[in-house]
Chain A
Amino acid sequence: MNDQNPTVSALTVASLLVDTEPYLSCDDCFERMDQYVERRLADRHHDDLEMTTHLAGCGVCAEEADALEALLREDAQ
Chain B
Amino acid sequence: MTTVERADSGVDTPTDDDTAWWTHLGQDDPAGHAAMASLHELLLRASRYQVWRLRDLLPGADAAQVDDLAQQAADDALVAVLRKLPTFEGRSRFTTWAFKFGILHAGVAVRSQAWRHREVPLPDTFPLVDPAPSPAAVSEAAQLSRAVHDAIATQLTPHQRRVVLALLVEDVPIDVLADRLGSSRNALYKALHDARQRLRQALIASGDLDAPSTRRTP
Chain A residues within 8 Å of B, Cβ to Cβ: 1, 6-10, 12-13, 15-23, 25-27, 30, 33-35, 37-38, 48-50, 57-60, 63-64, 67-68, 70-72, 74-75
Distance (Å) between the CB of A50 and the closest chain B CB?
6
Interface size class of B (residues with CB under 8 A): 35 or more
Flag if B164 contacts A16 (CB, 8 Å).
yes
Known: A13-B144, A15-B168, A35-B92. A8 touches B185 (CB 8 A): no
Q: Contact partner of A64 among B97, B104, B127, B199, CB < 8 A? A: B104
Flag if B200 contacts A23 (CB, 8 Å).
no
Flag if B196 contacts A16 (CB, 8 Å).
yes
Known: A16-B168, A64-B103. A70 touches B53 (CB 8 A): yes
Distance (Å) between the CB of A15 and the closest chain B CB?
5
Distance (Å) between the CB of B169 and the closest chain A CB?
6
Q: Does B123 contact A (CB under 8 A)?
A: yes
Cβ contacts A to B, 18 pairs, < 8 Å: A1-B127, A1-B169, A8-B129, A9-B129, A12-B129, A12-B169, A19-B196, A19-B215, A22-B218, A26-B174, A35-B91, A35-B92, A38-B96, A60-B174, A67-B53, A67-B103, A71-B50, A72-B99
Give residues 74-128 of B contacting A (CB, 8 Å). Answer: 91-93, 95-97, 99-100, 103-104, 107, 111, 121, 123, 126-128
Interface residue SS majority, chain A: helix
Q: Which residues of B contact A67 (CB under 8 A)?
A: 49-50, 53, 103, 107
Q: Contact partner of B97 among A8, A26, A34, A63, CB < 8 A? A: A34
Interface residue SS majority, chain B: helix
Residue of A nearest to B92 (CB): A34
Q: Which residues of B contact A72 (CB under 8 A)?
A: 96, 99
Q: Contact partner of B218 among A17, A38, A49, A71, CB < 8 A? A: A49
Distance (Å) between the CB of B191 and the closest chain A CB?
12
Flag if A57 contacts B174 (CB, 8 Å).
no
* B40-84 near A? 1/0 per residue, CB < 8 Å: 000001100110010000000000000000000000000000000
Give residues 127-173 of B contacting A (CB, 8 Å). Answer: 127-132, 141, 144-145, 148, 152, 164, 168-170, 173
In the assembled complex, the Cα of A25 lies from the Cα of B175 at a distance in Å of 14
Residue of A nearest to B151 (CB): A16
Q: Which residues of B contact A59 (CB under 8 A)?
A: 173-174
